[in-house]
Structures are given as C-alpha cells and as structure tokens.
Amino acid sequence: MGLKCKPVIDYTLCNGCMACVSLCPYKAFFSDVDAHAKIDYSKCKMCGVCIILCPYGAIDCQWVPTSSQCQSGLKQSS
C-alpha cells in the first residue's frame, strides 16, 4: 500500500484563470456553469502536474492510500 496525491482546489486562492483546465494531461479539469474549475476524479490519475503548474497555488495535495496496482497503473508481478 502506498500514497498518492489527490488534488483538491482551494477556492479562496483560485482566481479562475483555468490553467488547470488547459494544462491537465488527462483532461480531468473542467469549468462548471459558474466558471469554477472542477475535478473529474474518474479521469484524474493523481499525477500532481496541476499542483505544480497552478500559478496561484490553489491546488493542494490530499494524501490518499492506494494499492501498489493503482500506484503505477500496472500490476506488479511477485
């Protein structure tokens, strides 16, 4: 069992620039009807790119446990 970084948006810091929407390699971010960035966790691979690239530091890391299979996306052989 390992840990992965689940991105969480801090809306008090987000200015709505939508950099996360355009820069996420997995297209996990989208804009809702009120022009707020949201995360589709079914698409998110928890890679952390959004946390690094957000110019306002509005995306934080929430550490969540993962199995070793989920951690790399591949099954590990024993």
Is-contact 43 26, C-beta < 8 A? yes
Residue 3 has pLDDT above 80, yes or no: yes
Q: How far apart, in whole angstroms, are the C-alpha atoms of residue 44 and residue 13? A: 21
Strand pairing category for 29-31 and 59-66: unpaired
Q: What is the pTM (predicted TM-score) of this model? A: 0.77
CATH 2.170.150.70 is right for the domain spanning 2-72: no
Report the DSSP beta bridge partners of residue 37.
Answer: 31
Single out the residue of 71, 61, 76 nearest to residue 1, CA to CA.
Answer: 71
- In tens, the pLDDT along 8-66 reads 999 999 999 999 999 999 999 999 888 899 999 999 999 999 999 999 999 999 999 98
Single out the residue of 1, 3, 51, 42 nearest to residue 23, CA to CA.
Answer: 51
